[in-house]
Chains A and B, each alone.
Chain A
């Protein structure tokens, strides 16, 4: 179970680094936070899990999405 979560974490992180669309990257990052919150819960650190879920999946995603919304999408030449 833990191994599965770790593999998912690595895949999602790599996706968020290499994707061309910033929004996709942010959503992948949010999923990373969610999976790591589950991982923390399994590893018996519920405090850290709550923080990770609230900060990682909640606040930071919202902040990133706001930041992206104030940019403009550039068409690829």
Chain B
């Protein structure tokens, strides 16, 4: 082995060594430390969490009650991520077509309208064309499974204050259901959930209502993101259910929108392949 060979071999395992050292540097202090874990917040949650928030599921109580402000930040992160993805997909029009070695002959969803979320509501949904790689199996299974997944997502979302789950988890499951429906949907299906314009509007409305729910507490004389439902005499858990529904719809619509945008783009490009030969 020449010295150059040895050097290149060392160079190739360098990233592995660096990442192992980094992981060790993070993990070893955790194993070695003898400081007791802070228990104050945990004890408070254990004793008074259910009484204060009304939610059996204390995780929901924390992320929609005590730390709802962080949740607002998280939904904004998701909004920005979805917008960025849609922007990239819309911009990658030419690049993707170049990858398939042919010019782009108009996308199923107009890129500019997609980016602005202004796809006409009356327009029929872009039909996902059958690609060569797609089998009947996929279409049949996803078409049957989609509604079930959707119902399960709504269950996880609506019962987030009692059972494990909540807005984010339920929303992601709803998004899976929407993508399943889009994959297995037949021509003239009775759902409009797979239309990009509907999903974009749904997400925008959900975000608007989230901010509105956050500000309503201020109009009732208390702080940002305070439980305004408890102020008017309703059970205080209602606020958590409301926020769960809003966040679930927002996450579901956002991620479903992203999935459908990618689906139409890639399927559309593949579909032209079928047309050409």
Contact = CB atoms under 8 A, between A and B. Distances in A.
B156 A50 contact: yes
B176 A59 contact: yes
B259 A59 contact: yes
Q: Which 7 pairs of residues, A with B, have the shortest CB-CB distance?
A: A46-B164, A54-B172, A50-B169, A47-B164, A58-B176, A47-B59, A51-B169
Dominant SS among interface residues on chain A? helix
- Best-surrounded residue of B57, B164, B270 (most CB of chain A within 10 A): B164
Given A54-B169, A71-B99, A63 B259 contact: yes
B96 to A, nearest CB: 6
B133 interface: yes
Given A47-B164, A59-B255, A70 B169 contact: no
Interface of B: 57, 59, 96, 99-100, 133, 156, 164-166, 168-169, 172-173, 175-176, 179, 255, 259, 262-263, 266, 269-270
Contact of B166 (A47, A59, A63): A47
Contacts of A2: none
Contacts of A70: 96, 99-100, 266, 269
A62 B259 contact: yes
A55 B172 contact: yes
Given A50-B165, A69-B133, A71-B99, A63 B172 contact: no
Nearest to A46: B164
The range of chain A's interface size is 10 to 19
Contacts of A63: 259, 262
Interface of A: 46-47, 49-51, 54-55, 58-59, 62-63, 66, 69-72
Contacts of A72: 99
B89 to A, nearest CB: 11
A70 to B, nearest CB: 5
A50 B168 CA distance: 10
B164 A50 contact: yes
A68 B176 CA distance: 19
21 contacts: A46-B165, A47-B57, A47-B166, A49-B164, A50-B173, A51-B169, A51-B172, A54-B169, A54-B172, A54-B173, A58-B176, A59-B172, A59-B179, A59-B255, A59-B259, A62-B179, A63-B262, A69-B133, A69-B266, A69-B270, A70-B269
Contacts of B176: 54, 58-59
Contacts of B165: 46-47, 50
Contact of A66 (B57, B59, B172, B262): B262
